[in-house]
Structure formats: structure tokens, C-alpha cells
Amino acid sequence: MKKLTLAVLLATVSSVASATPATTFDNVALSYVSWTFDNIHFSLKGKAFDGTALITDHLYANAQIISVSESDTSSGPIQDIDVKEQKLSLGYRFELGAQTDAYAQFGLVRQSVDSEALYDDIIENSSESDNGTSILVGVKHNFGQFEGGVFAERLNGGGDDETSNIYGVDGRYKFTNDFHAVAQYGIESDFNYYKVGVSYAF
């Protein structure tokens, strides 16, 4: 696992943002997350924490922490693998309509991978980490009790072979004004992930 996984390209948006967001920006979320690597038929599962807060009417900050792992896999000699990813981003919100917001953000990302493998009855441990940058753009629409959107992210871990591109969709169902269910799905050429969780909006 040599590259950070996430990634690019959706829309260039330009518009003047309104003072009140049409969609939810101030919130925290805790989710179950699953990463699947299609080319090696391997999955990692764990949890994710996301938090977003408006700094001004348009400027916002986002933080994300993901921890996924797998043990005793059947896809090779790896016995245990743990991946941790942290991302800190600064973004800007645009108004595209009365119920539609677009956004663009730039972030710094760090991913660390620790694994334990068994080769010829000898246990070998390895650890590596990557630092990268993330550029993400997206659009989301308020349908009332439900919000839905699309996004794309380009993550560069350093060099052409360390670049990932992911396209995705996300949704938010509002049980109350404060408590929501959230879900997200993203896909790359040989990787996909999903998150399902709960969110508190403030």
C-alpha cells in the first residue's frame, strides 16, 4: 500500500455565496467505514470521524480521521494490517441556487500503514507513512429532509505514481434539525469505499 487513497475533478464553480448555507456545513459525524481494494480482493474496516465548521459565512475548516484494519486475511501472507489517515482542510462555499451549495477545499493528508506478515514461519513487521495534499470539489443540494451531493477529490502523495482520483456521492437524512444519518460512497480505478454513520449539526 504505497499511495494515499482518495481523489479528483468535478466542476469549477464561481458564484457569490449567500450568508446562510443552503446545506449543512457545521457538523460532526462518526461513521463505520470500509475500504476495498479490487485488484487484490482485500478489505479494511474501521471507523471515521469527520468535523466541519464555518469560520466565516463562506470559509470553513474540515478535519477527518480514519482508522481501518484487518487481521488473518486470506489474500496473501499478511496477518495484520492497520491504516490510519488524517486530513486537515480549508474550504470555501459557493451558492449555486437557493437550495444548492458548491464547495472547494485544499487539505494536507497523512497516512500511516503498519503490517505484520508471516514468511516461512518468520514474523516480519513493517511500517511506512505518506504525506500528501488533497484538492476536493463538490456540489450538494437540499431536498428538505434529505441532502445529497456529488464530489471529486485529487490526492497527491508525491510523484505521479502517488496520485489518486476518486469520484463519489454522499447523502444526509435529517431525523431532527440536529441529528442526522449520513452516508458516502467513493470509487477509484481499483479501490472503493463507503461510510455510514450518524451526525450532529450545530
Residues counted in the chain = 202
Residue 4 has pLDDT above 70, yes or no: no
d(CA 174, CA 158): 39
d(CA 150, CA 10): 8
User: Would you state the pLDDT for residue 127?
Assistant: 86
> 150 versus 20: which is more confidently predicted?
150
Residue 18 has pLDDT above 60, yes or no: no
pLDDT digits (tens, 9 = 90+) for 76-119: 556 789 999 999 999 999 999 999 999 999 999 999 999 887 66
Strand 179-187 relative to strand 163-174: parallel, antiparallel, unpaired?
Answer: antiparallel
d(CA 43, CA 75): 10
User: Would you state the pLDDT for residue 121?
Assistant: 66
User: Would you state the pLDDT for residue 21?
Assistant: 86
Confidence of residue 13 (pLDDT cuts 50, 70, 90): very low
User: Would you state the pLDDT for residue 125?
Assistant: 80
Count of C-beta atoms within a 10 Å radius of residue 77: 12
User: Would you state the pLDDT for residue 167?
Assistant: 98
pLDDT digits (tens, 9 = 90+) for 134-192: 999 999 999 999 999 999 999 987 655 678 999 999 999 999 999 999 999 999 988 99
pLDDT digits (tens, 9 = 90+) for 40-54: 778 999 999 999 999
80's CB contacts (< 8 A; 6+ apart) are: 69, 70, 71, 72, 115, 116
